[in-house]
Chain A
Amino acid sequence: METIVSIKPLLAVLVSLAAVPLILMSSKTPNLREVWSFVAAFIKFGLVLSMTPAILDGKIIEYTAFTVLPGIDFTLRVDALGLFFATTASFLWIITTAYSIGYMRSENEHSQTRYYCCFAVALSSALGVAFAGNLFTLYLFYEVLSIMTYPLVAHHEDFEAWEGGRKYVVYLVGLAKTALLGAIVITYMTTGTLDFRPGGIFTTDMPSMLVTLSYILFLIGFAKAGMMPFHNWLPSAMVAPTPVSGLLHAVAVVKVGVFSVVRVIMNVYGVDVMDFFGLGIPTAFFVSFTIIMASIIALTKNDLKARLAYSTVSQLSYIILGVALLTPNGVLGGILHIANHAFSKITLFFCAGSIFVASHIKKIDKLDGIGWKMPVTMTAFTIGSFSMIGVPAVAGFTSKWYLTVGTLEAGSVALLCVLLASTVLNAAYFLPIVFRAFFKPAPAGDEHFDSIREAPYFVVVPLTITAILSVVFGIFPNYFINLIERFLG
Chain B
Amino acid sequence: MQGLLNIPFIGDHILSLLIFLPLLGAFVLLFLKNERCIRWIALVTTVVDFILAIAVIRGFDPSVHTMQFVERYPWIPSFNIQYYLGIDGISVLMVFLTALIGWICVLASWTAIDKRVKEFNIALLVMQTAMLGVFCSLDFLLFYIFWEAMLIPMYLIIGVWGGPNRIYSAFKLFLYTLAGSILMLVGMISLYFKGGGTFDIQALMNQSYTFQFQVFVFLLFFIAFAVKVPMFPFHTWLPDAHVEAPTAGSIILAGVLLKMGTYGFLRFSFPMFPDASKFFAVPVIILSLIAIIYGAFLALAQVDMKKLIAYSSVSHMGFVTLGLFLFNKTGVEGGILQMFNHGITTSALFLCVGIIYERTHTRLLDRYGWAAKLVPFYAFFLFLFSMASMGFPGTNGFIGELLILMGAYSNYKLYILFLLFGIVLGAAYMLWMYKRVAFGAAVGHGGGHGAAHGGTHPGRIKDVNLREVVAILAFLVFVFWVGFHPMDFINIMDASVDHLLTQVSGGHALVAEVLVK
Residues of chain A having any CB pair with chain B under 8 Å: 66-69, 74, 110-111, 136, 139-140, 143-144, 147, 151, 154, 156-160, 162-163, 166, 169-170, 173-174, 177-178, 181-182, 185-186, 188-189
Contact = CB atoms under 8 A, between A and B. Distances in A.
A181 B420 contact: yes
A173 B425 CA distance: 11
Interface in B402-444: 402-403, 405-406, 409-410, 416-417, 420-421, 423-424, 427-428, 431, 439-440, 442-443
Interface stretch (B145-153, B359-367, B391-399): B391-399
Give the secondary structure class of A's interface: helix
A144 B392 CA distance: 8
B59 interface: no
Contact of A185 (B387, B416, B440, B484): B416
Given A110-B449, A177-B424, A66 B442 contact: no
Contacts of A147: 387, 392
Nearest to A162: B442
A159 B443 contact: yes
A177 B423 CA distance: 7
8 contacts: A68-B399, A69-B402, A110-B450, A110-B451, A111-B450, A181-B405, A182-B420, A189-B409
- What 8 A-B pairs have minimum CB-CB distances, sorted nearest first? A158-B447, A140-B393, A110-B450, A177-B424, A159-B447, A178-B420, A162-B442, A178-B424
B487 interface: yes
A181 B423 contact: yes
Contacts of B440: 157, 162
A136 B393 contact: yes
Nearest to A173: B427
A331 B127 CA distance: 64
A154 B449 contact: no
A67 B447 CA distance: 47
Nearest to A185: B405
A177 B393 contact: no
A174 B429 CA distance: 12
Interface of B: 387, 391-394, 399, 402-403, 405-406, 409-410, 416-417, 420-421, 423-424, 427-428, 431, 439-440, 442-443, 447-451, 453, 484-487, 490
A174 B432 CA distance: 12
Contacts of B417: 182
A67 B487 contact: yes
B393 A185 contact: no
A188 B448 CA distance: 48
Contacts of B442: 159, 162-163, 166
A383 B44 CA distance: 71
Contacts of A185: 402, 405-406, 409, 416
Contact of B410 (A110, A163, A182, A189): A189
Contact of B485 (A68, A157, A188): A68
Contacts of B387: 147
A320 to B, nearest CB: 24
A213 to B, nearest CB: 10
Nearest to B408: A185
A174 B409 contact: no
B449 A157 contact: yes
B187 to A, nearest CB: 37
A186 B485 contact: no
Nearest to A177: B424
A81 to B, nearest CB: 22
Nearest to A67: B487
A152 to B, nearest CB: 13
A158 B446 CA distance: 8
A158 B448 contact: yes
B447 A69 contact: no
A139 B402 CA distance: 12
A170 B409 CA distance: 25
Contacts of B439: 151, 154, 157
B416 A182 contact: yes
A173 B431 CA distance: 10
B510 to A, nearest CB: 30
A50 B431 CA distance: 39
Contacts of A154: 439
Contacts of B448: 157-158
A174 B426 CA distance: 10
A169 B431 contact: yes
Contacts of B402: 69, 181, 185
Contact of A66 (B420, B421, B443, B485): B485
Most A CB atoms within 10 A — which of B393, B439, B447, B490?
B393
Contacts of B410: 189
Given A182-B416, A185-B402, A189-B409, A143 B392 contact: yes
A181 B490 CA distance: 22
A174 B485 contact: no
A374 B318 CA distance: 61
A188 B406 contact: yes
A145 to B, nearest CB: 12
B399 A69 contact: yes
A427 to B, nearest CB: 38
A351 to B, nearest CB: 25
Given A66-B485, A166-B442, A178-B421, A139 B393 contact: yes
Given A66-B484, A110-B449, A162-B442, 8 more contacts: A68-B486, A110-B451, A157-B448, A159-B447, A160-B447, A170-B428, A174-B428, A177-B391
A140 B391 CA distance: 11
A140 B427 CA distance: 15
Given A140-B394, A182-B416, A174 B449 contact: no
A154 B438 CA distance: 13
B513 to A, nearest CB: 33
A109 to B, nearest CB: 9
Nearest to A151: B439
Contacts of B403: 69
B457 to A, nearest CB: 14
Contact of A156 (B394, B409, B449): B449
A189 B328 CA distance: 14
B438 to A, nearest CB: 10
Contacts of A140: 393-394
A158 B449 contact: yes
Nearest to A160: B447
A174 B450 contact: no
A156 B406 CA distance: 41
